[in-house]
C-alpha cells in the first residue's frame, strides 16, 4: 500500500484538479492523507467533500494552529504516516496518469539491487507549466541546470535536487523521519539529505508532474542558464549567502540527530561542512575543496566562492 501525503493551505483554486489527477492514476492502491494548515478559504471544505465521497481512501484533517510553512506541515505528516511506500503531493500541481506506476517500478528496481531494508528515495523530472497548464519547459532538470544523477552526500548538503512533489520513498527511509528537527531548510531537502547520507537515491529521467508556476508558489522553477538569472544571483549575493548559511545549519542539525547512524566518512563531511562559517577564508576554501562540497552549475559555484571569500568569520559555529 502507498500513502500519499498532501499538505494544503489556501489552495481552493487548484486543489480539486490535483486530487482528480490522483484519482485518475493507473495505479489506485493508495490512501490519500490531507492535512490542511488552517486555510482561510474554501480549501478544507473542498477536501472534506472528497473525504466524504471516498471515506476508505481519502482522509482529511486540519491543524489546530498554522504551522508557519508547508515544510512543517509536510514534516509532521511524514513523521505520522509510515507505509510500504510514501509519496508527497503539492496542492497546486497535476500528476500525469502513470506517475505512481512508473515511480513504483523505479523504486522496486533500486530495492532489488540494494535490498528492501535499505532506505530508498526516488524522484523524477517535472514539466514546468503556467497557471493554465501550458508547458513552459518539458524538463525542470534542464531548465534549472541541475544534474539529478549527482546524489552523493557531499553534493546533497549544498543544495537540494529533489522536488518533493516527485518523491517516492520506502518504509526503511520513512522510519528514519522520526522528529521535527530544530532547523530545516525544506522538508524535501531534509528527506534527500537523509537518503544521501543513510541510503540510496534513484532517479527516473521522465517528467511525471505538471509543475504549476504562479504567484503563490512557495518555491518555483527558474531558468538558471539565462543571463538574467546569473546576473540576479551575482547581484543578490546576500540572499544566496543566507541560503548557504542555512545549509550549514541544516547540516549541523542533521549530524547531531543522526550521529549514531552515520558512517565515519559521513560524520566527518557533515562536521566539516557545518563548521565552515567559523573558519578563516583560507580554511573555508580548503574545506570545500577537500570534501568537494561545491554547488552545481557555474552561476551557483561562482556565487558560492564569492561568498566564501567575502563573508565574515562567525564565532560559536560548527
Q: Do both 199 and 257 map to the same domain?
A: no
pLDDT of residue 29: 97
Q: In a structure prediction context, what are the per-residue pLDDT tens digits for the chain, which is 318 residues long?
A: 999 999 999 999 999 999 999 999 999 999 999 999 999 999 999 999 999 999 999 999 999 999 989 999 999 999 999 999 999 999 999 999 999 999 999 999 999 999 999 999 999 999 999 999 999 999 999 999 999 999 999 999 999 999 999 999 999 999 999 999 999 999 999 999 999 999 999 999 999 999 999 765 545 555 555 456 566 666 678 888 999 999 999 999 999 999 999 999 999 999 999 999 999 999 999 999 999 999 998 888 988 998 999 888 876 543
Contacts by 109-112, CB closer than 8 A, 24 or more apart: 109/202, 110/200, 110/202, 111/170
Number of domains present in the structure of the chain: 2
Q: Do both 166 and 53 map to the same domain?
A: yes
Q: Do both 143 and 67 map to the same domain?
A: yes
pTM: 0.92
Q: Do both 177 and 253 map to the same domain?
A: no
Q: Which of 145, 177, 212 is the C-terminal boundary of a domain?
A: 212
CATH number at residue 105: 3.90.550.10
Structural domain for 247, as ranges: 227-310
Q: Is residue 317 part of a domain?
A: no
Beta carbons within 8 Å of 265's beta carbon, 6+ residues apart: none
Query: What does the DSSP assignment read for 230-260?
Result: HHHHHH-HHHHHHHHHHHHHHHHHHHHHHTT
Q: Do both 181 and 251 map to the same domain?
A: no
pLDDT of residue 75: 97
Q: Do both 160 and 287 map to the same domain?
A: no
pLDDT of residue 310: 87
Q: Do both 12 and 83 map to the same domain?
A: yes
Q: Is residue 222 part of a domain?
A: no
Q: Do both 102 and 251 map to the same domain?
A: no
pLDDT of residue 222: 52
pLDDT of residue 314: 77
Q: Do both 103 and 236 map to the same domain?
A: no
Q: Do both 146 and 169 map to the same domain?
A: yes
Q: Which tens digit of pLDDT belongs to each residue from 104-130?
A: 999 999 999 999 999 999 999 999 999
Amino acid at each position: 500500500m502507498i500513502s500519499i501525503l498532501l499538505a494544503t493551505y489556501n489552495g481552493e483554486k487548484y486543489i480539486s484538479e490535483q486530487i482528480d489527477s490522483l484519482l485518475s492514476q493507473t495505479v489506485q492502491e493508495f490512501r490519500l492523507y490531507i492535512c490542511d494548515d488552517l486555510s482561510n478559504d474554501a480549501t478544507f471544505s473542498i477536501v472534506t467533500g472528497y473525504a466524504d465521497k471516498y471515506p476508505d481512501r481519502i482522509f482529511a484533517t486540519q491543524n489546530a494552529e498554522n504551522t508557519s510553512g508547508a515544510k512543517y506541515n509536510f514534516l509532521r505528516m511524514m513523521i505520522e504516516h509510515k507505509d510500504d511506500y510514501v509519496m508527497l503531493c503539492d496542492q497546486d500541481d497535476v500528476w500525469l496518469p502513470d506517475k505512481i506506476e512508473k515511480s513504483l517500478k523505479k523504486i522496486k528496481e533500486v530495492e532489488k539491487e540494494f535490498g528492501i531494508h535499505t532506505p530508498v528515495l526516488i524522484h523524477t523530472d517535472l514539466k514546468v507549466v503556467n497557471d493554465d497548464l501550458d508547458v513552459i519547459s518539458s524538463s525542470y532538470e534542464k531548465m534549472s541546470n541541475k544534474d539529478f544523477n549527482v546524489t552523493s552526500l557531499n553534493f546533497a548538503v549544498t543544495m537540494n535536487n529533489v522536488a518533493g512533489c516527485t518523491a517516492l520513498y520506502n518504509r526503511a527511509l520513512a522510519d528514519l523521519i522520526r522528529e521535527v528537527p530544530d532547523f530545516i531548510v525544506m522538508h524535501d531537502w531534509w528527506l534527500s539529505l537523509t537518503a544521501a547520507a543513510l541510503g540510496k537515491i534513484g532517479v527516473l529521467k521522465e517528467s511525471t508532474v505538471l509543475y504549476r508556476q504562479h504567484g503563490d508558489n512557495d518555491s518555483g522553477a527558474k531558468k538558471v542558464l539565462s543571463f538574467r538569472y546569473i546576473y540576479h544571483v551575482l547581484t543578490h549575493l546576500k540572499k544566496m549567502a543566507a541560503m548557504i548559511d542555512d545549509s550549514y545549519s541544516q547540516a549541523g542539525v542533521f549530524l547531531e540527530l543522526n550521529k549514531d547512524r552515520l558512517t565515519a566518512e559521513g560524520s566527518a563531511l557533515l562536521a566539516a561542512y557545518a563548521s565552515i562559517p567559523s573558519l578563516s577564508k583560507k580554511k573555508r576554501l580548503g574545506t570545500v575543496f577537500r570534501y568537494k562540497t561545491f554547488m552545481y552549475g557555474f552561476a551557483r559555484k561562482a556565487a558560492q566562492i564569492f561568498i566564501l571569500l567575502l563573508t565574515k568569520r562567525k564565532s560559536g559555529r560548527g
